Amino acid sequence: MKTLVIGGGPVGLATALALKHSHASEDIAILEAASRDKQINTDRNIALSLASWRFLSRVGVETDALIAKHGAEIRAVEVTQQNAFGWLQLDAKEIGERMLGAAVPYPHLKSALDDAVVAKKIDVMWDAQATRIDLEGARARVTLAGGEAQVADCVVMADGSKATAESLMPAFRSIERDSGQIAVIAKVQATKPAPNIAYERFTEGGAFALIPRAAGSGAYEWTLVWARRRAEAEHLLALDDASFVSEINHAFGGTMGTLSVVSERSHYPLAWRFVEPRAHGCVAAVGNAAQALHPVAAQGLNLGLRDAHDLAQALSTANGNTALSLQTFARNRAVDRVTTFGFSGALAYGFDRGGWLLDVPRGLGLTALQLLSPLKKELLKRMVL
Ligand SMILES: Cc1cc2nc3c(=O)[nH]c(=O)nc-3n(C[C@H](O)[C@H](O)[C@H](O)COP(=O)(O)OP(=O)(O)OC[C@H]3O[C@@H](n4cnc5c(N)ncnc54)[C@H](O)[C@@H]3O)c2cc1C
């Protein structure tokens, strides 16, 4: 079976590796619009669950070396509320694991995936921008910007959220919603660092997350992702450095002493998007081509990697009927997608403080989870799986 994967981002690369690993397709090519030497210009720190790391390792990515060299392990997550009771600590040790996950800068993750694809001898066509997909019986034809075309038994759209699925194939529809929020992002250090702990905090302004990141020379750093309503985010971005530092310390409290900011601030508009249907004929959408989530819950790529895994599973049991397998894939992915959207939404908006009316039940919920060990273990298992 010949498969074309459109998009050489992390999900496209992982999908190609998973297809190869499961022997679902013997002839796989990745079409990537960018040039081979294009610099990746993002400082994004990607936190992946233990399950995502294990999946990447199984399909051939050198994850241990990547995390050791460029990553930061996340051994516990602490959930708190600003100016209200309620505290929850989720620790990997409670379920017999060393870590719940690890965070790695996007460019390093991408280059480890690129290396794995080369090692597995999967073809990558650079400067190959797909412009159109047409079904031809049980197969599909992909036309490139230069006018040339390729025909395959299966086409995987992994072209991320900058493209719209319907521009490649009108059978697909993107449904988008602007959350009205902007994520303010910065690198921070602390005077009393608690290494390997991630923080999620309900603050008066919105969800406040600190995700560990690797820093050289024995220093510890976190990526701050603070989701705020647009006007508040614009205000935060316009503040002078000292005032911004004072705002984040006020919001976070003294858990790690005093926080300082060690980078420029950046920002990212927060929009939700999902594509329906997930599959049409022998064409399916995965990763950000299928859905884009609010990044405060750090779930987008985790979800995309589960797409890659499930697609390879469905195709490896295809029995020659790709369209039917892709329908099964679409059905199987529905629950995970809705649940992850719900979880990210709860973090994004549930963290948006609503006065004591919400503080009290939220505080009780956090405390109950902290005290009820079986419930907490269940939550921990769900986080790493
Ligand atoms: C600030 C921020 C923080 C985040 N943090 C986390 C986190 O901690 N954990 C997590 O799990 N997720 C996180 N995410 C989400 C994560 O970054 C995305 O889910 C992930 O990058 C999506 O990967 P992808 O391969 O689907 O898409 P992309 O990374 O967008 O890759 C798409 C690729 O397709 C190529 N392409 C596009 N159009 C075409 C075409 N027509 N033809 C050929 N090629 C094409 C592009 O050049 C690109 O290489 C975060 C997102 C943001 C914005």
pTM value is 0.91
Q: 10 Å Cβ neighbour count for 328?
A: 17
Closest ligand 1 atom to 12 CA: 25
Atom of ligand 1 nearest to the CA of 168: 41
Tell how far the Cα of 108 is from the centroid of ligand 1, in angstroms. 14
- Select from 322, 3, 292, 5 the least CA-distant residue to 158: 5
Q: What token pair was written down for 151? A: 């025909």
Tens-binned pLDDT, residue by residue, of the chain (385 aa) = 999 999 999 999 999 999 999 999 989 999 999 998 887 777 789 999 999 999 999 999 999 999 999 999 999 989 887 765 556 778 889 888 999 999 999 999 999 999 999 999 999 999 999 999 999 999 999 999 999 999 999 999 999 987 677 889 999 999 888 888 899 999 999 999 999 999 988 887 788 889 999 887 778 999 999 989 999 999 999 999 999 999 999 999 988 999 999 999 999 888 888 899 999 999 999 999 999 887 666 788 999 999 999 999 999 986 779 999 999 999 999 888 887 776 666 665 555 545 545 555 555 555 555 555 666 666 666 666 6
Q: Which of 312, 308, 268, 313 has the alpha carbon at shortest distance from 288?
A: 308
* Ligand 1 atom index nearest CA of 288: 26
Provide the angle, in degrees to the nearest 10, between the axes of the packed helices 50-58 and 10-21: 50
**What is d(CA 17, CA 28) in angstroms, rounded to the nearest whole number?**
9
Smallest CA separation from ligand 1 atom 49, residue:
9
Q: From the CB of residue 376, how many other CB atoms can be counted at a distance below 10 Å?
A: 19
Q: Which CATH superfamily is domain 2-41+105-177+271-350 in?
A: FAD/NAD(P)-binding domain (3.50.50.60)
Residue nearest to atom 30 of ligand 1 (CA): 160
Atom 4 in ligand 1: residue holding the nearest Cα: 295
For 332, the enclosing helix (H) or strand (E) is helix 322-350
Residues 6 or more apart in contact with residue 209 via CB below 8 angstroms: 198, 199, 200, 201, 224, 225, 226, 296, 298
Pocket of ligand 1 (CB under 6 A): 6-12, 31-34, 44, 46-48, 129-130, 158-161, 163, 183, 185, 268, 287-289, 295, 298-302, 304
Four-point Cα dihedral 232, 234, 236, 238, nearest 10: -150
Backbone angles phi, psi at 220, to 5 degrees: -115, 135
Domain coordinates of the chain in residue numbers? 2-41+105-177+271-350
Residue whose Cα lies nearest atom 38 of ligand 1: it is: 159
